[in-house]
Chains A and B, each alone.
Chain A
């Protein structure tokens, strides 16, 4: 099978998928009324990117303090505890995004108008969010928690952008 045939198969599958997605939409009967209000999302949306939590989990202050104590065996205990909490944080932000995407998909299916440009932007933001989370995961696994700060800010920005569309 040559490259052109593979591309044709991929295009065919994408077309069938897109058609199925459009057919699942309810023809706009529910319209805007089915969209959940913005305040609902704002209330449910936990600010996991709040600096107080991120500073404690990914900051250098506590790590420096532990190094200064020079207590044998304490640094590995601290590292293991922080890694566990950082992974928990990561699983929470991923779960939050899954929830947003699910709500958005339900809202889009019930909506009358499909704004292709906006949907493409949401898709891109979600993809970038998960890519950033994968990079954060790698940094956590390698014990470089304090190097994740910039990526956490990026993930927070992607999450906020998706929230602004979903809660609009």
Chain B
């Protein structure tokens, strides 16, 4: 192996190590404070610039290189998304219900807006398998229908008004 490839290998190892350190920092300081996977997914997707697909996080970029910060955010995003997309429907419904409750918005309004605008589509990572992406959007659609039904059943009927 020549010195050029040795240096390149060392650079790759250093970059990987830095990305891992940035990832650990992100998980320990930020993601662990977010209660549910769905909220983590929304947070991680919100750190992505939708025009370029690149991730930005001021705090992380100050501590680590921009590439390491971007790599850490992308890796965490992919992992959280994969966990949610391939989780049983029941788990996704509970996650979504917790998330709706945590937003303090009117559940009826939020569910209605999500059903019409489908904003959850922007939470799908760029490098995601299209089939897994479709499974996720399909499951969220069904989960919203379940939450809507639960919400309606909790509303007071016309007689109690």
Q: Which residues from chain A sit less than 8 Å from chain B, CB to CB? A: 46, 48, 52-53, 56-57, 61-62, 65-66, 69, 71, 73-74, 77-78, 81-82, 84-85, 88-89, 92
Contacts and interface: CB of A to CB of B under 8 A. Distances in A.
A81 B145 CA distance: 13
Contact of A53 (B86, B88, B138, B149): B86
Interface string B116-150: 00000000000001011011001001100110010
Nearest to A69: B146
Given A74-B142, A77-B142, A89 B88 contact: no
A146 B159 CA distance: 44
Contact of B145 (A46, A48, A56, A77): A77
Q: Chain B binding site: helix, strand, loop or mixed by DSSP? A: helix
A74 B138 contact: no
Interface of B: 86, 88-90, 129, 131-132, 134-135, 138, 141-142, 145-146, 149
A88 B134 contact: yes
5 contacts: A53-B135, A61-B90, A65-B89, A71-B146, A74-B142
B131 A78 contact: no
Contacts of B86: 52-53, 56
